[in-house]
Amino acid sequence: MGHKERLEKFAARLELSGFNAYICVNESNVFYFTGLPSPATLLIRRDGHAVLYVSPMNYGLAEKEAPQGVEVAHLKMGVAPEALLAEILSQLGGMVGIDSLDFETHRKISGLIGGVDLRPQSRLVWDMRMSKDTYEVEVIREACSVADKVMRAAADLLVPGIKESEVKAELTAEVYRRVGQEPAFMPIVAFGERSAHPHGPILRGAARDRVLKRGDVVVIDLGVKVEGYCSDLTRTFYIGSEMDERLRNTFESVIHAKALAQNIMRPGVSCSYVDDIARDYLSNKGLDAYFIHSLGHGVGIDIHEPPRIGPGSQDQFVENNVVTCEPGVYILGEWGVRMEDTLLVTEEAAIPLTSYPLDEYLIY
């Protein structure tokens, strides 16, 4: 779907929901509708007319890159966001949606917007963004394919004596080499007891780095961005040929919990239920107390987006969701094991888009 079609589809939804217009200030929403990555404000009217308000710094990019049918409006330097919002709203009436609004801004403008009924409702855009179109699936597939190759390059570096920072640097360089731009996020590389922290340890003082030793567990979590869309992939390795039974059971349990959860991801299924399935399985193995985060999340323009696949989530899967499935078990002071793939949810199956082998976790 092109940007023009997205805008038309969204305008039809505005009409159906009784909105006269909608304002996007969230950077990734603006990118979704216009392909422009920089901070800007986008007004979409129910008739499909769209206006992109850009500051002087982005006149050049906007003039050159704005999609057909999007009018570009030039702001002066230093216009405060609340002043722009009040100005836009003064031309509107009735019910107007907005994707993000902080309380302070609302208070500042509430006296200036006359009869406008301004409603923060981010869900209206998410309902579209959560279901990826053909183009989006294609570029995410490419980002996933590169992630697999980068993971391979990273695994090849895991020789005792290398530092976490060296793996991160080389892994980042490999992303630059393969796609010409930066990773989707700064990679996590955690050795040994540091892998027990899902996002790695606090990099402070002497803890800024760590050398790899034989017998270490290694968690590597990386993502690639292609045409503005992310992939997300985690593998855990063990440096040695034989691990103790508890650790081996944990690897196998995490891999099995992941398969069970993936197997039931379908449109209409509750996200919290899928999380339950993985959690219950780990509970039977006595490991649920160590599965200390949600099972997964949506992936797209943002590395974390709806749906949330975790306890208490109100979300349901929809067709063409792209999501992660990433159970993990973390034993403080010892190690952590997490396995994560990015998947496409269809009527028939949740199809893994990343495909680095799950069973090649021994490195020796």
Interacting span for a copy of itself (CB under 8 A) from 193-201, 233-241, 242-250, 338-346? 193-201
* Residue of 344, 57, 79, 338 lying closest to 217 (CA atoms): 338
Sheet harboring 296-298: ordered strands across?
305-309, 296-298, 322-325, 341-345, 350-352
Q: Please tell me whether residue 310 binds a copy of itself under the rule CB under 8 A.
A: yes
Please list every residue from 150 through 169 that binds a copy of itself, using CB under 8 A: 163-166, 168-169
Interacting span for a copy of itself (CB under 8 A) from 50-58, 242-250, 257-265, 342-350? 50-58
Q: What are the angstrom distances between the C-alpha of 136 and each of 26, 103, 320?
A: 19, 33, 10
Q: Please tell me whether residue 242 binds a copy of itself under the rule CB under 8 A.
A: no
In the complex, least distance from residue 187 CB atom to a copy of itself, rounded to whole angstroms: 8
Q: Which residue from 134, 205, 245, 347 is in contact with a copy of itself, where contact means CB under 8 A?
A: 205
- Residue pair 48/68 in contact (Cβ under 8 Å)? The answer is no
Q: Which two tokens stand for residue 341?
A: 């793939």
For 206, phi then psi, to 5°, come to: -65, -20
Binding residues with a copy of itself: total (CB under 8 A): 62
Q: Which two tokens stand for residue 260?
A: 């069970």
* Residue of 351, 364, 358 lying closest to 132 (CA atoms): 351
Residues 356 and 364: their CA atoms lie apart, in Å, by 18
Q: Which residue from 18, 156, 160, 186 is in contact with a copy of itself, where contact means CB under 8 A?
A: 186
Q: Please tell me whether residue 100 binds a copy of itself under the rule CB under 8 A.
A: yes
Q: Please tell me whether residue 349 binds a copy of itself under the rule CB under 8 A.
A: no
Please list every residue from 250 through 279 that binds a copy of itself, using CB under 8 A: none
Q: What are the angstrom distances between the C-alpha of 9 and each of 2, 3, 22?
A: 11, 10, 13
Q: Please tell me whether residue 211 binds a copy of itself under the rule CB under 8 A.
A: no
Q: Which residue from 68, 103, 115, 161 is in contact with a copy of itself, where contact means CB under 8 A?
A: 103
Q: Which two tokens stand for residue 291?
A: 């599965």
Q: Please tell me whether residue 41 binds a copy of itself under the rule CB under 8 A.
A: no
Tell me which residues touch a copy of itself (CB under 8 A). 35-38, 55-57, 59-61, 65, 77-80, 100-106, 120, 122, 163-166, 168-170, 172-173, 176-177, 179-182, 186, 196-199, 201-205, 208-209, 227-228, 292-294, 310-313, 330, 332
